Amino acid sequence: MTPSASALLDWYARQRRVLPWRALAGQTADPYAVWLSEIMLQQTTVVTVMPYFERFLKHYPTIGDLAHAPLQEVLAAWAGLGYYSRARNLHACAQQVAAIGAFPRSVEGLQALPGIGAYTARAIASIAFAVPVVPVDGNVERITARLHAVDAPMPGARKHLDRLAASLNLDPAAQDAPGDFTQALFDLGAGICTPRRPSCLVCPWREPCKAHASGDPARFPVRAPRKVRPERHGVVFRLTDRQGAIWLRHRPATGLLGGMAELPGTVWQDDPIAIEEALQAAPVALSMADDPTWKVAGQIRHVFTHFGLNLTVIAVRMNDFGPLHNQEGFACPRNALGKQALPSVMQKCLALPV
């Protein structure tokens, strides 16, 4: 049975969240704001995204402004949001949309753009262009799994849940208001049908929900046992000259943290690296200087999606960066660090007291 879209939309009219990218009741959604927010919200919380979204709109009021901005500047503005391939795709997508003059209005056209997958294409199409489709994110998966009490564990059940979710908007009321219906689903998952302790007593879809009827709605969606996250290790060198400038380099354009700025260091490997071994991979100045002054500043840990990273930070004070003239990298004055595309893991390394 398809739950009542009218019941959900009535609840949404009373309880809808006010978000900086969301059009108010009766207003037309801005495709640029919808797209920007959806890209930022991938793997990131609403609270985290809000200040980034507002800063991006201030610096890049239109998609043309974003398209014409240097990539390194965009990466710097993104720094701290993580999943940096999103920022590179954001920039590439802005350039394509600016070239054609507007966003495509169909799911297929949107999905052909860089960084826009099936979910994001449906979300933009429904919210910005009133296309009656259901975007399936974690919130909608959870709602669907509970409505149907799906026992198959995640992530294996994902395709089945996607098919079930596609029927949520069959009610004519949902077809008449695709954008509001999509956002109502998001708000239902974020505020009522939460992962732990769902508020079933105030849920507009309580009656048809099989998980509620089971007496244990929080059991759904069923999760497969988590695999142990592997650990990796490395050493980085925080080289500082007498003016306080820091030596940085850019990571390769593709791959993890592609194009971002970083401290030079060793490769990241499965086993801890001895300091003596790390020094063999240090920038040439560390071994060539007559009396290199270095010390272990400390260790940091950073968690990526698929592994945890443990970095030892070696601080080195140099008179100048002359010995690094043939090394990959560049000197960055300390007061210019904020303009560099430094990922969170490198910000942690720089924050250690020397």
Provide the token pair at 229: 């996250």
Exactly one of 38, 262, 276, 277 is catalytic; name it: 38
Task: Give the length of the chain.
Answer: 354
Q: Which amino acid is at 4?
A: S
Q: Give CA–CA dist 22/183, Å, rounded.
A: 9
Q: Is 262 labeled as catalytic in the residue annotation?
A: no
Positive or negative, the CA dihedral 235, 240, 244, 247 is negative
Cα-trace Rg, the chain: 24
Q: Which amino acid is at 211?
A: A
Task: Name the one residue in this structure whose structure tokens are 């919380």.
Answer: 45
Q: Give CA–CA dist 246/329, Å, rounded.
A: 10
Q: Please identify every residue annotated as catalytic.
A: 38
